[in-house]
Amino acid sequence: MSDGAVQGAVVAVYFAIVAAIAWAASRTTTATPEDYFLGGRSARTLVLFMALLGTNVTPFVLMGVPGIAYHRGVGVFGLNAAIVALGIPLSFWAIGYPAWRAARKHRAVTPAELYAARLQSPALGVVLFVAFVVYTVPYLVSSVLGVGVAVSVLTGDAVSLEVAAGGLLAVTLVYTATGGMRATMWTNVFQGIVFVGFVLVAFVGVARHLGGFERISARLVAEAPQLLTRGDRPMFATGAWASWGLAISLTVIAFPHMLVRIFAAKSVDALRNTARAYPLALVLLWVPVVMLGVWGAVAIPGLEGRASDGIFVRLVQDAFGPWMEGLCLAGVLAAVMSTVDAQFLTLSSMLSRDVIRRLRPDLSPGGEVRLGRAFLVAIALLTGALVVLRPASIYAIASFSFSGYVMLVPTLYLGVRSRWFTATGAIASIVVGNAVLLLAWIQPTPVLGILPVAWGLAAAIAAAWLGSRWGEPAADGPVEV
């Protein structure tokens, strides 16, 4: 059996298991929007945790982070992983929980629908919809690009990025369209086990291949000591460090595909347990991916620019045989599909709930679900077209999206917790925050050493306060927590 055939067999088994889980889920999914788009709001701890983790973990973690650690060293761990171990669970508590309670009360399926209902402003729903789409589509593209990189490295370019991306989009489209949220959440449990398990096995296996943890560490001290300290690299300077920490902590709760999964929680216990488990999961994932990137700089030196995005896969290739390479591919596919399915479903739910239902209020629940499926196809085609263009590195695309989402955080928090926040304040916050973000983004260097995201966030908060001089706050007051 050739190496390619072995890899293909492993991936085929992975696809078969995903398909079987999705088929089982689809048999319990009814044709109502709440069931199709939110799984009947019935996700318990394990499913909710794995769905949120699976949605959160993308090629940014499995490919982009090792790629950047290859060039910048261990400081990437503190920059990206540590702060989110606090920031993400806190945001689940401060924003996710009140939003979950309000979504149940208003029977809202999408975040835009929730905030438009609470602040009694269809215009706010439209603005939120546009903002979510503008930042989700590039993020979706970066996810799919990760698979393309992995496949082309593992197959020696025998399978092109376009073919790999097309296959991934097609499979994800089928199971998401048939089973909706329940299928995506159930498959995410399996996918999470696959990618976390693979990362841990790869970490130990690559270390052994390189002579053991102590030997590779000693080589790092001798051959690339600059990667073991933060040094004076601009990305680790205090201003950039603090503002990136702010961005990456706040951005996750503003992903519409994360917020929608929080809406799907069955109980507050499921949310609490998920928050508790999150830091541990981050350690299990991030220590290996950062260290693999750093080890890669010694084991396979000389990769320039975004070529380092493939370092994780190259190390696996060097350390293991075709079975593990196949598992590597399945692991990357699992990480990507568990995000892409959530993004597909959320974008299609927003299109049908936040746009079409406003234009056609008489649309039947079954018609809404059918329309959601049609939108899934359109979104998959758009994503495929953008992937072919491959506009920037995975890390760069993700950074752009992360910063954009942060501009929505004042609205997401104040919209459920404030006594004075109005729809005018929300719209002003989103528009001004994004305008300032873009202005700061086009500067050749960060203003005063602070990243654009911090300037945009400050402007979004100020505009929220100023804009709320006009309009009426939510009639039912802040959501009690």
Partner 1 sequence: MNRFSARRRLVWGASLLLIALHIWAPSAAAPTLVLGVLPWDLAFHLAWMAAAALLIHLAARFAWRDVDGGPADE
Give the amino acid at 229: T
Binding of partner 1 at residue 250 (CB under 8 A)?
no
Binding of partner 1 at residue 139 (CB under 8 A)?
no
In eight-state DSSP terms, residue 448 is G
What lies within 8 Å, CB to CB, of 14 at 6+ separation is: 194, 330, 333, 334
Q: Which residues is 265 bridged to in the sheet?
A: 43
Binding of partner 1 at residue 267 (CB under 8 A)?
yes
We find the least distance from the C-beta atom of residue 433 to partner 1, in angstroms, to be 21
Binding of partner 1 at residue 480 (CB under 8 A)?
yes
> Mask 304-333, x = binds partner 1 (CB under 8 A)?
------------------------------
Q: Of 87 and 372, which CB lies nearer to partner 1 in the complex structure?
A: 87
We find the least distance from the C-beta atom of residue 176 to partner 1, in angstroms, to be 26
**Which span sits near partner 1 by CB under 8 A: 89-97, 173-181, 452-460, 470-478?**
89-97
Q: Is 62:146 a contact under the CB 8 Å cutoff? A: yes
Q: Of 74 and 436, which CB lies nearer to partner 1 in the complex structure?
A: 74
Binding of partner 1 at residue 90 (CB under 8 A)?
yes
Q: How far is the C-alpha of 349 from the C-alpha of 373, rounded, in Å?
A: 9
Q: Of 106 and 230, which CB lies nearer to partner 1 in the complex structure?
A: 230
Q: Of 52 and 112, which CB lies nearer to partner 1 in the complex structure?
A: 52
Q: From the list 50, 153, 290, 474, which residue makes contact with partner 1 (rule: CB under 8 A)? A: 290
DSSP, residue by residue, 125-192: HHHHHHHHHHHHHHHHHHHHHHHHHHHHHHTTTSS-HHHHHHHHHHHHHHHHHHHHHHHHHHHHHHHH
Q: Of 385 and 481, which CB lies nearer to partner 1 in the complex structure?
A: 481
- Distance of alpha carbon 176 from the chain centroid: 17
300: region left, alpha or beta (phi > 0 left; psi from -120 to 50 alpha): beta
Q: Of 225 and 234, which CB lies nearer to partner 1 in the complex structure?
A: 225
- Residue where the block lists tokens 């945009």: 456
Binding of partner 1 at residue 97 (CB under 8 A)?
yes
Q: Of 277 and 464, which CB lies nearer to partner 1 in the complex structure?
A: 277
> Mask 230-249, x = binds partner 1 (CB under 8 A)?
x-----x-x--xx--x----
Of 413, 460, 478, 426, give the one whose Cα is nearest residue 96. 413
Binding of partner 1 at residue 107 (CB under 8 A)?
no
Q: Which of residues 191-230 bind partner 1 (CB under 8 A)?
A: 213-214, 217, 220-221, 225, 228-230
Q: Of 68 and 327, which CB lies nearer to partner 1 in the complex structure?
A: 68
Binding-site size, partner 1 (CB under 8 A): 49
| CA-based radius of gyration for the chain | 22
Q: Which of residues 21-60 bind partner 1 (CB under 8 A)?
A: 44-45
Q: On the CB side of 66, how many CA atoms lie within 13 Å of its CA?
A: 32
- Residue where the block lists tokens 């489209």: 173
Q: Which of residues 148-167 bind partner 1 (CB under 8 A)?
A: none
Per-residue burial over 36-58, b if 16 or more Cβ lie within 10 Å, else e, is bbbbbbbbebebbbbbbbbbbbb
Binding of partner 1 at residue 77 (CB under 8 A)?
yes
DSSP, residue by residue, 119-140: TT-HHHHHHHHHHHHHHHHHHH
Interface residue list for partner 1 (CB under 8 A): 44-45, 74-75, 77-78, 81-83, 85-86, 89-90, 93, 97, 101, 213-214, 217, 220-221, 225, 228-230, 236, 238, 241-242, 245, 266-270, 272-273, 275-276, 278-280, 282-283, 287, 290-291, 480-481
